């Protein structure tokens, strides 16, 4: 079962993480994990450009290495890149030293390709232990999410993904989509309509 909206108790239990921004402002924050991936990230960028919206892409370092042109395009079009580890590691299953080194390797690759230093970090799968979080919080803002689209779940109909994401979108929401091959089909069906919804409701899609 997909939990499309993070319960308030989880946010209280883990206050070191950023779950949402200011609820008093009509801004939302679109985020895309796991890219850059050809055929998906470029589609997302095209749709964002059509609607004059900005987003944050939490990139896997190895994908930045494989697709530098797409990573550069993200920055050139006014979006931002966050660190999502080099190898999409699960923090709860990775030794601390290896995990921190993998994060550093991702930052190095992002800088090598885009000449920008990522200041945001999102742990793959949302899995990270307290020691890792403590170490990384010295360098990064640790960003989770407020609304999970569930676009990665092949069992979920695109209509359900869209309806649930729209339902939980509100001021300050950090919304999580994925620009990866697994989500290529569903994001093409969901994202254009969702971005129109965002405009119709008067939200501004801003950088984190």
Summarised one tens digit per residue, pLDDT across range 8-63 is 999 999 999 999 999 999 999 999 999 999 999 999 999 999 999 999 999 999 99
- Mean pLDDT per segment of 10 residues, for the chain of length 208 residues? 90 95 97 98 98 98 98 98 98 98 98 98 97 97 98 94 97 98 96 98 97
Q: Which of 174, 189, 184, 177 is nearest to 143 (CA)?
A: 174
Active site residues: 33, 178
Residue 168 in contact with residue 15, Cβ under 8 Å?
Answer: no
Alpha carbon distance 55, 31 (integer Å): 6
Determine the Cα–Cα distance for residues 204 and 53; give it in Å rounded to an integer. 7
Q: Which two tokens stand for residue 97?
A: 């030293």
pTM recorded for the entire structure: 0.97
Q: Is 42 helix (H, G, I), strand (E, B) or coil?
A: helix
Q: Minimal CA–CA distance to 85: which of 118, 121, 115?
A: 121
Residues 6+ apart with CB under 8 A from 163: none
Domain ranges of the chain: 8-205
18-41-44 Cα angle (round to 5): 80
Would you say domain 8-205 falls under CATH 3.20.20.370?
A: yes
């Amino acid at each position: 079962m997909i939990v499309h909206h993070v319960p308030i108790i989880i946010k209280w239990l883990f206050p070191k993480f950023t779950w949402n921004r200011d609820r008093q402002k009509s801004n939302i924050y679109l985020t895309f994990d796991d890219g850059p991936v050809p055929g998906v990230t470029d589609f997302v960028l095209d749709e964002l450009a059509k609607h004059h919206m900005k987003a944050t892409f939490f990139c896997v370092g190895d994908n930045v290495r494989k697709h530098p042109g797409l990573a550069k395009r993200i920055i050139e079009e006014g979006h931002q890149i966050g660190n999502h580890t080099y190898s999409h590691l699960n923090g709860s299953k990775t030794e601390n030293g290896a995990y921190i080194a993998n994060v550093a390797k991702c930052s190095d690759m992002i800088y090598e390709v885009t000449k920008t230093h990522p200041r945001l970090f999102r742990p793959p799968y949302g899995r990270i232990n307290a020691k890792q979080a403590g170490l990384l919080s010295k360098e990064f803002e640790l960003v989770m999410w407020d609304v999970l689209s569930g676009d990665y779940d092949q069992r979920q109909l695109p209509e359900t993904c869209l309806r649930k994401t729209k339902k939980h979108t509100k001021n300050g929401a950090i919304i999580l989509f994925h620009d990866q091959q697994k989500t290529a089909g569903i994001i093409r069906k969901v994202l254009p309509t969702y971005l129109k919804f965002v405009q119709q409701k008067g939200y501004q899609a801003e950088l984190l």
